[in-house]
Amino acid sequence: MTLSASPSSGDAPDPAGETFEGGRLWALLLGLFLVNVLSQIDRILPFILAESIRAELNLSDTQIGLVTGLAFAVCYALLSLPLARAADRGSPRGVLVGCIGLWSTMTALGGLATGFVVLALTRFGVAFGEAGAIPAGHALIARKVPTKRRGLALGVFSMGIPLGTMAGFVLGGVLDEAIGWRGTLFAAGGLGLFIALLTFLVAGPTPRLARPASDPTFLSSAGALLRRPAFRGLVLAAVLMGFAAAPFYAFMPSFLIRTHGFSSSEAGLTFGLLQGLMGVAGAILGGRGFDRAVRTGGRRILLYPGMVFLIGAATTAGALSVPQGWMAAALLLPAMFAFSYMLPWGFGAAHLLAGRGREALASSLVVIATGLFGPALGPVLVGVLSDAATGAGLSNGLGLALLLVPIASLLTGWALIRADRRLAAARAEEVP
């Protein structure tokens, strides 16, 4: 199997349509960036609207948790693979536009919910649509972006995640007070349908790739990737990152409120703005770094994000123990940077290992690794540990439970550095 983005591949014409340059390239990247922003907004809205929804529909916290947590994560992860296969084998533009239309329609229909069942069904629909966003977006990047700009493209696309998260929290709260939770969901759904049309226009035609004479099955393609030691190492790192990131975002604002006396608005504004700034910086610098490594023939693709995670682990542990709130918030910055910095490096490495025509499949496997186990289990584990510590009379139970974050970050750094050695060996074999 060749490494598809090796320096020798240059910028050969795309057999399934021309690559974009100049204004067309930036129009495509802007469209994909907006897709990722929208995806995060629609995913985040139920978190910030939860109290209003719970009060009107008379839901329990358990029902809210099921709608926003485990059920969404499982549906999202399981549907990512078949949608990735459809993007690789067919038209990634068609898959992406269809997914945006589906999740936007279901977001809007959520505004009509009269109880738990209808609300849950609409969130399943949102998960179905959003499951195809990253794989189809990456397939478009692989077909339409020249090799020398691919890391930048992945960085711009990934930048939508932190900015969408920030926008979801800030705008969701403002719109909830202004037009209510139902109106907020209607507005988000309408915006999504507009972005679906925009994406259709800027992506351009994406004809099917020619299939090889022996076209492997969906499961055999995934199995072939997972049999590669470097890819298995990357997947392990992605799983561990999920256990670091999910509790970090779920509980760090609460930690600032309980331990350091932040108000809810202060914690939301501080955490949201810092995450937005660090997320953008991490995604852009990670993308540029990946481009430079590929362009110069560098073989240490995962070493740098691994080192950043080791730094983030140390500073996050410090944030959980310092007495000043401002210092705790400042010490969270490296972790926020690391989570976004990893994305273009990790997805780029997955594409290198997958080879042409399987980029979406590789992305979906990484998405499943990051988005299933950690988000489904990490916050629950922190919550259980926090309750147990508090019940035992410890004053900082949540802070102690959140030590899971630096531990998982430390293990993520170790896994990335270990996978880097395996990837370097694979590149040495393929690129003399």
Q: What is the CATH number of the domain that holds 334?
A: 1.20.1250.20
- Has residue 360 got a pLDDT over 80? no
Do 223 and 256 belong together in one domain? yes
pLDDT at 148 over 70: yes
Among 207, 231, 246, identify where a domain stops: 207
Model confidence at 430: pLDDT above 90: no
Mean pLDDT along residues 172-196: 91
Does residue 43 sit in the same domain as residue 129? yes
- Domain assignment of residue 78, yes or no: yes
Summarize pLDDT for 72-93 with one digit per residue, the tens: 777 887 888 788 878 877 888 8
Asked whether residue 6 is domain-assigned, the answer is: no
pTM for this prediction: 0.73
**Residue 5, in any domain of the structure:** no
Predicted pLDDT of residue 217: 66
At residue 58, does pLDDT exceed 50? yes
From CA 410, how far away is CA 325, in angstroms rounded? Answer: 23
* Domain shared by 416 and 284, yes or no: yes
Contact 283, 162 (CB under 8 A): yes
Q: Does 375 reside within a domain?
A: yes
Structural domain contains residue 394: yes
Which pLDDT score, from 0 to 100, does residue 184 have? Answer: 93
Residue 8 lies in a domain: no
Specify the pLDDT at position 211.
Answer: 58
Residue 394's CB is within 10 A of a number of other CB atoms, namely 14
Q: Which structural domain, as residue segments, surrounds residue 43?
A: 22-207
Express as a percent the part of the chain with pLDDT over 90: 33
Q: What mean pLDDT comes out for the span 294-308?
A: 82
pLDDT given for residue 109 in this prediction: 96
Total tally of structural domains belonging to the chain: 2
Residue 41: inside a domain: yes
214 pLDDT band, cuts 50/70/90, is low
pLDDT of residue 98 exceeding 60: yes
The rounded mean pLDDT for the chain is 83
Are 264 and 285 contained in the same domain? yes
Would you put residue 180 in left (φ > 0), alpha (ψ -120 to 50) or beta?
A: left
CA 39, CA 104: separation in Å to the nearest integer? 9
